[in-house]
Amino acid sequence: MAGAVNPDSVSTGARAMFFMITPNESSFQKVEDVPQYVQQATPFFVGLMMLELVVGFLKTGAPVVTLSDGLTSVSAGMISRIPLLFMRGCELTAYMFVWDRYRLLELPWDSAWTWWIAFLGVDFCYYWVHRLAHEVSFIWAAHQVHHSSEYYNLTTALRQSLTQQFTSWIFYLPMALIAPPAVFAVHIQLNLLYQFWIHTKLIKNLGPLEWVFNTPTHHKVHHGRNSYCIDKNYGGILIIWDRLFGTFAAEKDKVVFGLVSPINTFEILYVQLHYYLYLGRRSTTFKTINDKCLTFINGPSWKPGKPRLGDHLDNPKLTGQEVPHDPSWSLPLQMYVIIHFLLALGTYQDVFDNKMTLSQFNMLGMTGYVLLTLTSMGFLIDQRPRAAVLEMLRCVLMVTMQRYGYMKPLLPILAVTTQSQGARIIIVQAPSRLIFYP
């Protein structure tokens, strides 16, 4: 039946979220044949977040996520995907370049051995990607976005960096010497998907699985700012790398989540970029060229005279009574923000759905509008003095883009679709405009 959901695809998508997928059903000869597992996982992301919300409320009597923090996390996830509108992912592009020119061995794409070698290789490389993201300041400037939430729930998994993808690709290149790109393209997605479900406090100790796999208990420690949590538990799917390289820590005291110095804002561009500005300012406080350069290369806690990674002695002391930043804002304002966030989300999805037919100018304009909307929403949540002015300008831009057909009408009932002699005519009643699609 047309439009029916394929039960096999639903089963595959659900199992892919937990790396419960077999080599036979996920081995492909060409990169073009590899499914977009991450993109297809959106319904599972939403479903699991809703389930966590319900179960969390039933267990604790309180929501596991606040509106302000949840919207900021989802906004960060949206921003992190924007570069994909204009270029192929850096990891896969660089990987294919090395494979085409420098491969030393060509493992068979349809072998289960190749599949399992790629699984271990990607997870091993991810460990080092993740570890260096904590130990090198200019890479931490990107990765800190993921740690900026003071909550720990499934929306936190979506809080990703706009810029980290421009450095992470380097660490996967050794695999391109032996493993086909299509096999890598499968595992780089499955590795990412697995890490979604471990961002929850509702799942407790999983017994013997804790010795081998990264679990919510282990990853909860990784997101803590307690001294025993910092720079621990880097694993993606497997925790064995941390046990082997001495970076494992079990949960002890109550975990306090977030950055060592909380940023206390929901303004999305600041969340994404503030640490780059901080590093620039910090480097100017040092006198020698060597110290200025080491500011960007050594660990975030480094200072002249200290070890490369610093010693964390200057970090704020925790009491366990810390309360996450959660400004109060009125219910009408919350409803307003939700409505306009959903409108921006619709525009965002339209851009990705139609990126092959949109001009570069149109894509830039629509993504610019989405960025402006997410920024304005952050200003409103923070209740900044200039929030009203920025929001007024954004609304003017929104109406203008609707007037000239760059955005859908606010309500579907404002548009009427008809068919005429093989051409689809969409009559937009407000504002008046005819758009023809052959």
Predicted confidence (pLDDT) per residue in 27-81, tens digit: 999 999 999 999 889 999 999 999 999 999 999 888 899 999 999 999 999 999 9
- Given this model, what pLDDT does residue 383 score? 92
Cβ-Cβ contacts under 8 Å for 138 (sequence gap 6 or more)? 276, 279, 296, 297
Handedness of CA 365, 368, 374, 377 (dihedral sign): negative
Instruction: Determine the Cα–Cα distance for residues 54 and 89; give it in Å rounded to an integer.
Output: 35
Check whether the bond before 409 is cis (ω within 30° of 0): no
pTM for the predicted model, two decimal places: 0.88
- Given this model, what pLDDT does residue 2 score? 42
CB 260 within 8 A of CB 229: no
Mean pLDDT across the stretch 323-346? 92
| SS3 state of residue 437 | strand
Q: Residue 50: left if φ>0, alpha if ψ -120 to 50, beta else—which one?
A: alpha
Alpha helices in 239-267 (DSSP H): 240-245
The DSSP H or E segment spanning 419 is strand 415-420
Instruction: Determine the Cα–Cα distance for residues 129 and 147; give it in Å rounded to an integer.
Output: 15
Mean pLDDT across the stretch 18-26? 94
Cβ-Cβ contacts under 8 Å for 259 (sequence gap 6 or more)? 144, 147, 148, 225
Number of H helices, E strands in the chain: 17, 3
- Given this model, what pLDDT does residue 43 score? 92
Give the tens place of pLDDT for each residue, 134-183: 999 999 999 999 999 999 999 999 999 999 988 999 999 999 999 999 99
Instruction: Determine the Cα–Cα distance for residues 132 and 195; give it in Å rounded to an integer.
Output: 18
Alpha carbon of 257 to those of 228, 261, 276, 287, 321: distances in Å? Answer: 12, 11, 22, 34, 12
Torsion angle, alpha carbons of 392, 394, 345, 148, to 10: -90
**Whose CA is closest to 370, among 43, 36, 77?**
77
Query: CA end-to-end span of the chain, whole Å?
Result: 26
Alpha carbon of 180 to those of 93, 95, 109, 165: distances in Å? Answer: 13, 9, 6, 21
Instruction: Determine the Cα–Cα distance for residues 38 and 16; give it in Å rounded to an integer.
Output: 9
Query: Is pLDDT of 372 > 70?
Result: yes
Query: Is pLDDT of 417 > 80?
Result: no
Query: Is pLDDT of 87 > 90?
Result: no
Instruction: Determine the Cα–Cα distance for residues 23 and 20; give it in Å rounded to an integer.
Output: 10
- Given this model, what pLDDT does residue 425 score? 36
| SS3 state of residue 420 | strand
Instruction: Determine the Cα–Cα distance for residues 438 and 427; give it in Å rounded to an integer.
Output: 14
Mean pLDDT across the stretch 416-424? 41
